[in-house]
Structure 1
Amino acid sequence: MKALVYDGVETLTFRDVPDAVAADGEHLIKVEAVGICGSDMHAYLGHDARRPAPLILGHEAAGTIVNGDRAGTRVTINPLVTCMACPACLAGRENLCPDRQIMSMQPREGAFAQYISAPWRNLVEVPANVPLNKASLAEPLAVSWHAVRLALGALHASMDRTALVVGGGAIGLAAALALRAMGVDDITVAEPNAARAAFLADRCGLRVVATAEGAFSIVIDAVGYAATRAVASTHAAPGGVIAHVGLGEDAGGIDVRRLTLQEITFIGTYTYSAQDFRDTAEAIFDGRLGPLDWTDQRPLAQGAAAFRDLRAGAVAAPTIILNPWA
């Protein structure tokens, strides 16, 4: 089969690899749409020791089952494969499973390929009227759905629900859409890239600013650098909540003194539970997350160029979706 393989720092090769096979008790899926995630970019830049080369990256995928009694079923894929037996899994917090595996991280190859294997419990059936390129957005949308759910759960009931999203990439846009779907109407996105900011305002109908001003009861840091954490620390209202989603940089930026004196809740959020993923998929299917028409579509064969464009900041769309069969 064909795959886009991470072969070293800033090196991706579209080439033949051994055919994927279904693991015991799993389904083989023909991948028909797969998005480029920020974590794929971190690996591409050599910043993720958990993803050593050579490795097939990619975990935001949807496609069609090709084996067994469910052959022909269109599905979107939850890439977190967990033990289902530990206290975290039994509590419905599968994302905290100590034995979790993630597609695109050893020992599981990713979805920048024509086929991938996954257990049935990780698959959500996609209705016939929903395009698979939209269904593939369930994974990044679920990351933000989870973060917004936690932030709203932590917010004191007395506070007005105003939100600042720091970063207008896929996770930031997904956070804005999740906030809107959960009843938050006052949403501002801080995005310094002028082309992307214009795209978000024109295509997605969002209020976008280059630099945040004022105070917000909810701040979603969808980037995770010291500079964006500093923005979050500055603009969180007293008694407010910061949900930190991005993994751009490990340290710096948090004003611990201000968080302490102003009783600002800081929540680190990681991926999503299985229920979050299913809820997000349903929100895609029933239209609560909007038309989802803001992606850049390219063949997987052009994946290396897509990464270079993202690296150069030359992509206005919040995410690029690759087609392994184009």
Structure 2
Amino acid sequence: MKALMFNGIKALELVDVPVPGAKSDEMLIKVEACSICGSDLRIFYHGSHRIQKPTVLGHEIVGTIEFLGDNIKNKYEGLYSEGQRVGISPAVPCGRCYWCKNKLQNVCDNLKIFGYEFWGGFSQFLLIPSTAIENGCVIPVPEVLSPGEAALIEPLACVVNAQHSAGISPGDTILIIGAGVMGLLHFKLASLYGAKKLFMCDKVPERIINAKALGVENAYVNNELKYRLNKRGADLVIVAAGTKSALEDAFKYVAKRGKIVLFAGLPNAEDRPIISSNQIHYNELSILGTHGSTPEQYREALRIVSEGRLSLKDLIKEEVTLEEAISIFEQQNFLDNKPGRVVVFPNK
């Protein structure tokens, strides 16, 4: 099979490798689509301590079941079948630790993630280990969704996790920092949850133009925001851009007794930003980190989109093959110039 192999920082190559052999308690997925996440780009340019190279990246995955092990057929009779379309909730928990027992699988003490510890979706086939199946990470996806929409269920699930954790009150003023795909998903979901006073900012003018075209009325380039936001500031600030400057902006615009949600991660070399502990103390601020999602949150995201309550179609900007995907990774300013998800089709 063909796979996009990550060999180290700025080193991707298209290779031929054997199709993984699935055991009796595993399944093999033929990958239909896998979209490129900002975290994939961050790994490409900065690496990750979690990854043992060489490996295959990609965690926003949809595909069809190519092979079911006999034990899986017997244990999950009626739930899975060969040829069935499925999505992958990529954070695979152990199911045994304190966090798993309290339904917080995304912070499992023994978490393993597709595209990190397990090979990911930038390959024609993907082996699904028994732990992923046992913990509910393989989820049937209806055919009504396009491949790109199905791949974007995973990032939407992460947004579901963040907004459930933060709490969305209709009367709150909410600021989303970052007008990329994740920021736009936050806007869409917060609107669905009843938020009325929504603002968005980004340092890249092209992203603001794109956001306005997608219905974000109060979207501004960073230096314009201070003239548009009320003097009190935002009750909730969602940092959906993985830069230190975005975090600094959050502290500029958060209201007293407000909440800052750190949704986007930073490269390891940059994850020690300077923040004002006195501002947190005297203004009674709350700082909340959110990461990934649980299988149940993936299912909620899937229900929202399948029922037509939220559209993902306008966030898909390009569809490419595995070979074409290499050039996407190598364009450092690609996301600035062309906001939207790029969806990779490994079997085209």
TM-score, normalised by the number of residues in structure 2: 0.87
Q: 1:178-206 CA deviation, whole Å, 9 max, x = no partner?
A: 21121112211112212222122213545
RMSD of aligned Cα (Å): 1.9
For 2:76, the equivalent position in structure 1 comes to none
Choose the corresponding residue for 1:269, options 270, 290, 296. 290
Q: 1:105-141 CA deviation, whole Å, 9 max, x = no partner?
A: 13x1111101112233212211121112101111111
Gaps of 5+ in 1: none
Gaps of 5+ in 2: 74-80
Q: Write the mapping of 1:34-113 to structure 2, written as runs, cut at 5 A.
A: 34-68=34-68, 69=73, 70-106=81-117, 108-113=118-123
SS class of match (2:19)? coil
For 2:77, the equivalent position in structure 1 comes to none
Task: Note the C-alpha offset of 1:8.
Answer: 2.1
For 2:239, the equivalent position in structure 1 comes to 221
For 2:322, the equivalent position in structure 1 comes to 300
- CA 1:28 to 1:216, structure 2 compared with 1: closer, same or farther past 3 Å? same
Q: Write the mapping of 1:1-326 to structure 2, written as runs, cut at 5 A.
A: 1-22=1-22, 24-68=24-68, 69=73, 70-106=81-117, 108-118=118-128, 119-120=132-133, 121-152=136-167, 160-211=171-222, 212-213=225-226, 214=229, 215-248=233-266, 249-295=270-316, 296-313=318-335, 315-326=337-348
Moved more, 276-285 or 194-203: 194-203
Distance (whole Å) between structure 1 residues aligned to residue 326 and residue 205 of structure 2: 24
- Does the 8 A contact of 2:262 with 2:287 survive in 1? yes
Distance (whole Å) between structure 1 residues aligned to residue 50 and residue 31 of structure 2: 23
- Does the 8 A contact of 1:204 with 1:294 survive in 2? no
The structure whose Rg is larger is 2
Distance (whole Å) between structure 2 residues aligned to residue 314 and residue 96 of structure 1: 31
TM-score, normalised by the number of residues in structure 1: 0.92
- Does the 8 A contact of 1:168 with 1:318 survive in 2? no
Distance (whole Å) between structure 2 residues aligned to residue 136 and residue 102 of structure 1: 16
SS class of match (2:167)? helix
Moved over 4 A (4+): 310-314
Distance (whole Å) between structure 2 residues aligned to residue 86 and residue 313 of structure 1: 38
- Does the 8 A contact of 2:179 with 2:200 survive in 1? yes
- CA 1:132 to 1:266, structure 2 compared with 1: closer, same or farther past 3 Å? same
Identity rate of aligned residues, in percent? Answer: 27
Task: Note the C-alpha offset of 1:102.
Answer: 0.4
Distance (whole Å) between structure 1 residues aligned to residue 277 and residue 111 of structure 2: 31
SS class of match (1:284)? helix
2:253 maps to a residue whose letter is: H
- Does the 8 A contact of 2:8 with 2:47 survive in 1? no
Distance (whole Å) between structure 1 residues aligned to residue 239 and residue 216 of structure 2: 20
Task: Note the C-alpha offset of 1:271.
Answer: 0.8
- CA 1:180 to 1:44, structure 2 compared with 1: closer, same or farther past 3 Å? same
Task: Note the C-alpha offset of 1:5.
Answer: 0.9
Aligned positions, number: 321
